[in-house]
Amino acid sequence: MASSLFFFLLTSLSSHFLPLSILSATVVEDLANLTPPPDFSTTITTNCLRDPLLRYCNNTSSSPMDIVEIFRSTIVASHLCNESKNPNCVESFPKIRINSRPKTAALYLSFDFFWKYCPLTVVEIELVNNSLKTGFPTNVLSCAQIRTLDLSYNQFSGFVPVQNLSKLPNLTRLNLSYNRFSEDKISDSGFFKRFNASSFIQSGVLTNVKRYKMKVLVLLIVFPLMVILLCFCFGWICLKRPDYLPRTCRRSNKFTSAMLDAATDEFSDQKLVSKTNRVDIYRGTLRDGTEAKIEVYTEKVSREKRREFAEECEAVFKLRQKNLVRVLGWCNGRNLRALVTEWINGENVGTWLSSSSASSWRRRLRVVMGVVEGICYLSEQWPEITFDLSTSGVLLSDEDQEPLISQFKIGDGNNSSTNIFKFGLFLLEMITNLRPDEEQEDSERRYLEYIRVHYPDNLGRVIDEKMKLEDRSMEQVKQAITLGLMCTDKPPLKQPSLTQIYDMVVSLYDH
Ligand SMILES: *[C@@H]1O[C@H](CO)[C@@H](O)[C@H](O)[C@H]1NC(C)=O
Ligand SMILES: *[C@@H]1O[C@H](CO)[C@@H](O)[C@H](O)[C@H]1NC(C)=O
Ligand SMILES: *[C@@H]1O[C@H](CO)[C@@H](O)[C@H](O)[C@H]1NC(C)=O
Ligand SMILES: *[C@@H]1O[C@H](CO)[C@@H](O)[C@H](O)[C@H]1NC(C)=O
Ligand SMILES: *[C@@H]1O[C@H](CO)[C@@H](O)[C@H](O)[C@H]1NC(C)=O
Ligand SMILES: *[C@@H]1O[C@H](CO)[C@@H](O)[C@H](O)[C@H]1NC(C)=O
Ligand SMILES: *[C@@H]1O[C@H](CO)[C@@H](O)[C@H](O)[C@H]1NC(C)=O
Ligand SMILES: *[C@@H]1O[C@H](CO)[C@@H](O)[C@H](O)[C@H]1NC(C)=O
């Protein structure tokens, strides 16, 4: 009945005013040029009397009937009917179907007045594959009687007005597939029972309320948890294994217990190189592959001492000289204090002295010269240092035979007199290839006594026989022994200063 009424209007339009067949201009031109015929208001009044349910028959003071808009909507209707290839637009207008014609579809969607007075005969709306990029076209919902709504293959976005769609009682086929709608917190699960998943293929809409809730759960709970976990991991890495951080975001000189644990296979015996009552020395491999010597100080110390330890480590870390082993960093943990230096492949001077390659005085003197240069640099840079100079603590690198002082006595305070004493012992050992027997009590005193007994006339007895000394060298060696004995003077009355030592060794070396 509605359809005949609508077409009564169209027919009356065509018969009294404009036959549809000659509506040849475009809809836009017609909208601009055509004006309602004089009897148009009579026509719609007649129509409304016949069917007051017609959408335009709402003549109230709050929403008065707009004759011009109704007229314009009939013009659009007549064009749209033809565009949609309805079989006979004079008799029926059941469907709006504009597929794969983006411009036409967009144009007709923009005629709000048409949709407002949507003809009651329309039961099917298809706007498929039109690249429409707006939000959901809510104006089509004015056609509340529709049975089919197909908006697939567009680029609609935003939320789907589920509530409004639910209110359409006759809608049985809905297709929103292949669009870009937003996921919605859709509470109306009935809506999704009415239309199954094939209405929402790749539409952006989540049809499964449970899945939606899962997503919300993930976003609200799991995601923050992940973030917290990540922060935790990051914090853990920062605290425990900063070597896993990129080089630029960490202090390369800081080692943690965990890092040293990993470098030394948890301080395994295989990695233990030497052990004294105060220092354990390990050979470890850092994460970047660097071989390192790790000196672990086993003594338990106070918090104050630990602070001093860190300061001293910081100081040795800055030292750079060819006769000092390079300090890579340190660890100052509550349970582990350690100094990490580069690993030098080479033998220590003590071992070297016993080998045949130490038979030249000149070469021994070169080692002494290097050591003196090293300790002068050390005490210049850092007067407070105590160095634990001994033939076993100086290495000859395999590469260039350059002597490298490899042991610092970190955390012992300053004693320059001790330093010079230690150098004296070192020098005497270099000449005699004899050293105090550490097993014995008072060994250093007895050792020095032994040398002094033969000084100065009987020195042949104490000088290492391996050195084949000519007269000139003999003279130098004697001078060196004199220097060694001066350094080891106790109480240190005759002890020379480091500068004096340096000058003397240089003059020996240069002659
Ligand atoms: C109706 O559509 C046909 C093609 O489908 C077209 O040739 C004709 O001009 C159209 N008529 C009007 C009045 O728009
Ligand atoms: C007329 O307007 C009223 C309220 O404004 C609405 O309930 C009714 O559905 C309208 N009639 C038609 C045919 O649109
Ligand atoms: C709408 O109602 C007014 C009076 O309220 C009347 O004058 C007018 O003719 C009516 N319009 C139509 C199209 O029926
Ligand atoms: C959409 O329209 C284009 C032409 O505008 C056509 O090539 C394409 O096959 C159409 N796709 C579908 C799914 O209809
Ligand atoms: C739904 O269809 C029935 C039967 O065709 C019809 O009576 C009813 O008016 C339609 N509902 C709407 C809102 O058009
Ligand atoms: C959709 O429904 C809401 C309330 O349910 C209403 O406020 C809004 O005007 C409706 N929109 C359309 C286009 O029908
Ligand atoms: C989905 O509903 C349509 C009718 O709207 C029906 O043809 C189709 O078989 C249904 N598909 C599934 C998987 O239920
Ligand atoms: C919606 O359109 C897609 C693509 O053409 C199709 O695969 C799907 O079956 C349609 N769903 C319904 C309910 O018509």
User: Hey, whose CA ends up nearest to atom 12 of ligand 7?
Assistant: 196
Q: Which residues contact 417 (CB under 8 A, 6 or more apart)?
A: 492, 495
Q: Is the pLDDT of residue 268 over 90?
A: yes
CA-closest candidate to residue 387, choices 461, 473, 464, 324:
324
pLDDT at 273 over 70: yes
Report for 3-7, 127-131, 206-210: range of highest mean pLDDT: 127-131
CA separation, residue 253 to residues 72, 267, 331, 495 (Å): 82, 20, 9, 37
**Residue found under tokens 């016949």:** 50
Residue 10 sits at the vertex; the CA angle it makes with 164 and 126, to the nearest 5 degrees, is 35
Helix (H) or strand (E) holding 191: helix 189-194
Rounded Cα–Cα distance for residues 15 and 64 (Å): 27
Average pLDDT value for residue range 482-490: 90
Mutate to test the pocket of ligand 6, among 136, 164, 171 (most ligand atoms within 8 A of CB): 164
| The pLDDT of residue 108 is above 50 | yes
Please tell me the predicted confidence (pLDDT) of residue 385: 73
Could you tell me which residue, 98 or 418, shows the higher pLDDT? 98
Q: What is the pLDDT of residue 186?
A: 60
Architecture of 257-510 per CATH? Orthogonal Bundle (1.10)
CA pseudo-torsion sign 354, 359, 363, 365: positive
Q: What is the pLDDT of residue 305?
A: 86
Which residue's C-alpha comes closest to atom 3 of ligand 8? Answer: 177
Tell me the sheet residues that pair with 297: 279, 337
Separation between Cα atoms, residue 120 and residue 116, nearest integer Å: 11
Q: Using pLDDT thresholds of 50, 70 and 90, give the confidence band for residue 428.
A: very high
User: Average model confidence (pLDDT) for the chain?
Assistant: 85
| pLDDT mean over 426-433 | 92
Q: How far apart are CA 465 and CA 93, in angstroms?
A: 124
Q: Whose CA is nearest to atom 1 of ligand 5?
A: 170
430 falls in which pLDDT band (50, 70, 90)?
very high
Output the six-digit token pair for 475. Answer: 């003279």
- pLDDT value of position 8: 44
pLDDT per residue as tens digits for the range 177-212:
999 998 766 666 678 788 888 898 998 887 666 777
Q: Of the ranges 106-115, 230-239, 250-259, 364-373, which one carries the lowest mean pLDDT score?
A: 250-259
**What is the pLDDT at residue 410?**
65
What separation in angstroms does the CA of 357 have from each of 360, 368, 391, 467, 473? 7, 15, 16, 10, 17
Of all residues in the chain, the percent with pLDDT exceeding 70 is: 92
Indicate if ligand 6 lies below 6 Å from the C-beta of 143. no
- Minimum-distance ligand 3 atom for the alpha carbon of 70: 13
Residue type, 431: I
Confidence of residue 66 (pLDDT cuts 50, 70, 90): confident
Q: Is 27 helix (H, G, I), strand (E, B) or coil?
A: helix
What average pLDDT does this structure show over 402-417?
Answer: 74
Among 278-292, 359-373, 381-395, which stretch is predicted with the lowest mean pLDDT?
381-395
pLDDT tens, 6-39?
A: 444 554 443 333 444 444 568 888 888 888 888 8
- How is the chain split into domains, by residue range? 1-93+106-117, 257-510
Q: What is the pLDDT of residues 138-165, one digit of tens each?
A: 999 999 999 999 999 999 999 899 889 9
pLDDT at 5: 40
Q: How far is the CA of 129 from the centre of ligand 4 (A)?
A: 6
Q: Is the pLDDT of residue 443 over 50?
A: yes
Ligand 1, CB within 6 Å, residue ranges: 20, 23-24, 79, 82, 85
pLDDT tens-digit map of 289-335 = 889 999 998 888 888 888 888 888 888 888 889 999 999 999 988 88
- Least confident window among 58-62, 256-260, 276-280: 58-62
- The Cα–Cα gap between 146 and 135 comes to 20
* Mean pLDDT of the region 120-124: 92
**164 close to 141: Cβ distance less than 8 angstroms:** yes
Tens-place pLDDT, residues 322-368: 999 999 999 988 889 999 999 988 888 988 988 888 788 889 999 99
From CA 437, how far away is CA 264, in angstroms rounded? 31
Task: Name the pLDDT band for 213 (thresholds 50, 70, 90).
Answer: confident
What spacing in Å lies between the alpha carbon of 27 and ligand 3's midpoint? 28
Q: Which of 87-101, 126-140, 169-183, 373-387 shows the lowest per-residue confidence on average (mean pLDDT)?
A: 373-387
pLDDT at res. 379: 84
Given the CA of residue 64, which atom of ligand 3 is nearest to it? 1
Ligand in nearest proximity to the CA of 141? 6
